[in-house]
Amino acid sequence: MKLSKGVENIDGSGIRKIANLSSKYENIISFTIGEPDFTDSNKVVEEAYRALRNGKTKYTSNEGISELRKAICKDLESELGIKYDADSEVIVTVGGMGSLYISFLAILDQGDEVIVSNPYWSNYTDIKV
């Protein structure tokens, strides 16, 4: 099967290559893919189990779980005095790259210039709008 030119031109992420390499060694402190070097707390694990037991195994809405967006807005208002509407001004994504990608789709047009400072995370330059 022939792959598209776009797929053929994708080079693997340098960050992922280093992360994969470092995972073969013990006692490595990795600064590659943004994961903490500790496991989730018991509270987080128990909440995940509870959610699974309660059937929270389906896709959420595209903008994220409503209760989470409302909690984010409440926290921003109490901590920083900033008010946002959870239903029209807040989106929760599954990761940083996804949020950057949809943000760029929202504000950039083909041909716009984007300046990326150096040093930068290597995946930034892989985002194509």
Q: Is-contact 129 111, C-beta < 8 A?
A: no
In the chain, % of residues over pLDDT 90: 40
Number of Cβ within 10 Å of residue 32's Cβ equals 19
**Tens digit of each residue's pLDDT (9 = 90 or more) over 94-118:** 888 888 888 888 999 988 998 888 8
Using CA atoms, how far apart are residues 38 and 40, in angstroms rounded to an integer?
7
**Tens digit of each residue's pLDDT (9 = 90 or more) over 20-49:** 888 898 888 777 777 777 888 999 999 999
Q: Is-contact 73 63, C-beta < 8 A?
A: no
Only one residue has tokens 């210039």, namely 113
> Is the pTM here over 0.75, yes or no?
no
Per-residue model confidence (pLDDT) at position 96: 84
Tell me: pLDDT of 125 over 90.
Answer: no
Nearest Cα residue to 10 out of 128, 129, 102: 128
